[in-house]
Amino acid sequence: MLEVKDLEVRYGRLTALRGVDLSIREGEIACIVGPNGAGKSTTLLAISSVLAPTAGSITFDGTPIHGTRPEDVARMGISQVPEGRHIFTSLSVEENLQVGTATRSDKAEMKRDYDRVIETFPILGERRKQSAGKLSGGEQQMLAIGRALMTNPRFMTIDEPSLGLAPKIVDRVYEVLIDLREKRGLTLLIVEQSSERALKAADSLYVLRNGAIQLAGKAADLQDGKEVHKAYFGFSEDHEGEVMI
Amino acid sequence: MAFALQVLMNALSLGSLYALAALGIGLLFGVLKLINFAHGDFITVGAYALIVPSAATQATLMIGDFHPLILIPCIVVVVVILALIAEFLVFRPLRNASPATLMIGSFALGFVIQNILIMIYGGRPKAVGIWSDLSLGVELMPGVEVPKLQLIIIGVTLVLMVVLVLFLTRTKYGIHMRAAAEDFRMARMLGIEANRVIMLAVAISGMLAAAVSMLFVVQTGILDFRMGVSLMLFAFIATVIGGMGSLVGAVVGGFAVGAVSILLQTFLPSEMRVFRDVFVFAIVIFILLVRPQGLVMSRASRERV
């Protein structure tokens, strides 16, 4: 569904991504893990056309989307829950969800999607008239996901859904994400710093470090963790032990 | 009592003009992060559009001769078109430049507009009597007479503010505009068309400028190619002390600056009245020292982390 080939992104003279390849199939949950500064968020922002790649290509259902505008990408059915959530704090909860329908005119389905979001996250219904800035971190995460869903996406990217949230709320968020794939066939690309939870939820896993994919594979094949550890840190656990001694 | 009421009406009507101009500036600042110093010149153009373009010292009414129901839309259209031209020729090419560059661009645009006005209309101020019967007094209560125009200025301002609030909170495009003003990138990632939102904000800002043009020129009866500049300056100060990025702040700031100006005008000893603006600016400096974030904190800066 989404093919990223040889993606390169530079911030001035700094190269953030050097030849990233991703191949995400329809209906799967893909996960990118990697340490801080590996280029995870940059990859997602490039997919959303917020950042323009200096080389490489991104195609969605065979259509190239690199070099377009963020609003074009949104219109094609790609939605993003960005790092830091980026809730509109001066808008009410309901208005935040409404902004998600910017590209749509199918009134009946919009209502259906709104009801679904409220059903998934009842707290958003209770607080729909409240200013979104007054929500807790977990509620804001739910709102960000709900808002992304209101665009009626076929493909959704989520940047660090567990960041700054209590474990219980993280569980709930992942429950919802897995449910979205099961019930609506939504394709998901999740970025996480830690690989544990991601490995449990994901069908395929990419380890990103220093702006390049170090390891890519089916999550089922990587459950052992050693390989992932090596790709993530750049050295194996045994090696680390030696250094420690 | 009668005197106090008169001062109050003066303050409210001057504050209304500042508040309307400040809203026009604040709206663009929200969406574009642009402090549009050409806003005052948009106001000037709206006033000049009333007369026949010529360098003659005697102004001949053109649009100004029309029936008000035609006149007002005409002026609005002229200013909105000017604002949209500015967006296409100046602001859009500078979209990715720093806010400082944008601001300097708007300064340059202002000078260009002023000089074009001089070329077409000549540099000398012109008297233009339009709807002069509005300056006749109305008796609010026994002994208190205020010009009809003051009531109209305050009324028009209230109506425009209510309409703007309804637009921003009740309509789809208004909500998009508020979202874009808070987080433009996120708004675009959700599919909001950047150019459409900006053009809409520019157009509304132009409409507000046109309203100020009309009210101001009817009040003063004089056309001058710099007439918008001092208005813009006070409106800009209003947005700053009100709190940059907050529309409520722009309105509060506008009325505050208007009130301070009128109070000083009224109560300063007559030989010091020429220095009124010095006192106004001194008070502004004081406010900024005490509350650098402005009187009304914008919601974005109150954000919960």
Which tens digit of pLDDT belongs to each residue from B51-69?
998 888 888 888 888 888 9
pLDDT at residue B305 tops 70:
no
pLDDT at res. B79: 97
For the whole model, what pTM was predicted? 0.88
Tokens 């001194």: give the residue: B282
**Per-residue pLDDT at B215 exceeds 80:** yes
| Nearest by CB: B304 against A79, A102, A133 | A133
Least CA distance to A69: which residue of chain B?
A: B188
Interface test with A, best of B186, B196, B305 (most A CBs within 10 A): B186
Tokens of B303: 């954000």
The interface predicted TM-score of the complex, written ipTM, equals 0.90
For A37: left if phi > 0, alpha if psi spans -120 to 50, otherwise beta; the answer is left
Q: Per mean pLDDT, which range of A220-224, B212-216, B260-264, B279-283 is the poorest?
A: A220-224
Q: What is the pLDDT of residues B119-143, one digit of tens each?
A: 999 989 999 988 888 878 888 777 7
| Contact (CB<8Å) A86/B188 | no
Whether residue B245 is contained in a domain is answered as no
User: Mean pLDDT throughout B200-221?
Assistant: 95
Q: For residue B34, give how far its alpha carbon lies from the nearest alpha carbon of chain A (Å).
A: 20
Considering the domain boundaries, does residue B97 fall inside one? yes
Which positions of chain A have pLDDT values less than 50?
240-245
Residue B285 lies in a domain: no
pLDDT tens readout for residues B191-205: 999 999 999 999 999
Which pLDDT value is given to residue A24?
A: 94
Burial of B67 (0-12, 13-18, 19+ CB in 10 A): exposed
Class of domain A2-77+153-244: alpha beta
pLDDT at position B304 over 50? no
Q: Which residues of B touch A98 (CB under 8 A)?
A: 172, 175
pLDDT digits (tens, 9 = 90+) for B174-190: 999 999 999 999 999 99
HSE-up of B248 (CA within 13 Å, CB side)? 7
Domain housing B119? 2-227
In a domain, B257, yes or no: no
Note whether A217 contacts B: Cβ–Cβ < 8 A. Answer: no
Determine the average pLDDT of the residues in B227-249: 90
In angstroms, rounded to a whole number, what is the distance separating the alpha carbons of residues A156 and A149? 8
pLDDT tens-digit series, residues A73-106: 999 999 999 988 999 999 999 999 999 999 999 9
Cβ neighbors of A195 (< 8 A, separation 6 or more) are A31, A33, A205, A207, A225, A228, A232
B175 touches chain A (CB under 8 A): yes
Question: What torsion do the CA atoms of B146, B149, B152, B158 make, to the nearest 10 degrees?
Answer: -80
What pLDDT does residue B229 have? 93
Residues of chain A with C-beta less than 8 angstroms from the C-beta of B182 = 88-91
Terminal Cα-to-Cα distance of chain B (whole angstroms)? 49
Residue B301, pLDDT > 70, answer no
B165 belongs to a structural domain: yes
Mutate to test the interface with B, among A81, A99, A145, A152 (most CBs of B within 10 A): A99
Residue of A nearest to B197 (CA): A102
Tokens standing for residue B216:
């101001």
Residues of A in contact with B298 (CB under 8 A): 90
Taking each helix axis from N to C end, the angle separating A107-120 and A137-149, rounded to the nearest 10 degrees, works out to 150
Which pLDDT tens digit goes with each residue over B156-178? 999 999 999 999 999 999 999 99
Q: Let me know the angle formed at the C-alpha of A227 by A223 and A228, rounded to the nearest 5 degrees.
A: 70
Instruction: Grade residue B298 by pLDDT with cuts at 50, 70 and 90.
Output: low
Residue limits of CATH 3.40.50.300 in chain A: 2-77+153-244
Arithmetic mean of pLDDT over chain A? 89
Q: A151 and chain B: CB distance < 8 Å anywhere?
A: yes
- Cα A21 from chain centre: 16
Taking CA atoms, B165 is separated from B110, B171, B206, B247, in Å, by: 28, 10, 17, 10
Helix axes B39-48, B194-220, angle to 10 degrees: 60
Domain count, chain B: 1
CB distance from B195 to chain A under 8 Å? no
- Report CB contact under 8 Å: A95, B182: no
**Per the CB < 8 Å rule, is A71 touching B191?**
yes
Rounded Cα gap, residues A75 and A103, in angstroms: 6
